[in-house]
């Protein structure tokens, strides 16, 4: 009986975790240059969800090319992206990013 209860709790915890991570369309850019975040120095990738910006864990600003490129760099422009992840301790923990523009 204890094993069944433990298994049920384990399955429930996995299903709850999957519910918090969802795909959504967000703005993606440099937190410092475009979203005016000041809690870190240097240029770091950030998302803006519902008018609130969060630094990203799980992806780097240079993973998508030169961050200072005039036309596509995150320090120069704000781009749209479909992301999957969740907000954990005030940061966006990303599991996937698909740029839309």
pLDDT in tens, 21-42: 789 999 999 999 999 999 999 9
Q: Determine if residue 24 is left, alpha or beta; phi over 0 gives left, psi from -120 to 50 gives alpha, anything else beta.
A: beta
pTM for this entry: 0.77
**pLDDT exceeds 70 at position 18:** no
pLDDT tens digits for range 67-90: 999 999 999 999 999 999 999 999
Residue 56, class by beta-carbon neighbours within 10 Å (0-12 exposed, 13-18 middle, 19+ buried)?
A: buried
Domain boundaries, the chain: 22-99
CATH of 22-99, one of 2.60.40, 3.40.1800, 2.40.50, 3.40.50: 2.40.50
């Amino acid at each position: 009986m204890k094993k069944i209860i433990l298994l049920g709790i384990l399955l429930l915890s996995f299903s709850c975790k999957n519910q918090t991570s969802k795909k959504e369309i967000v703005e993606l850019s440099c937190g410092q240059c475009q979203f005016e975040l000041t809690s870190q120095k240097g240029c770091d990738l950030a998302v803006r969800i519902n008018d609130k910006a969060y630094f990203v864990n799980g992806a780097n600003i240079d993973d998508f090319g030169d961050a200072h490129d005039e036309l596509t760099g995150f320090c120069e422009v704000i781009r749209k992206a479909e992301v999957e992840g969740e907000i954990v301790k005030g940061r966006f923990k990303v599991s996937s990013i698909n740029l839309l523009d």
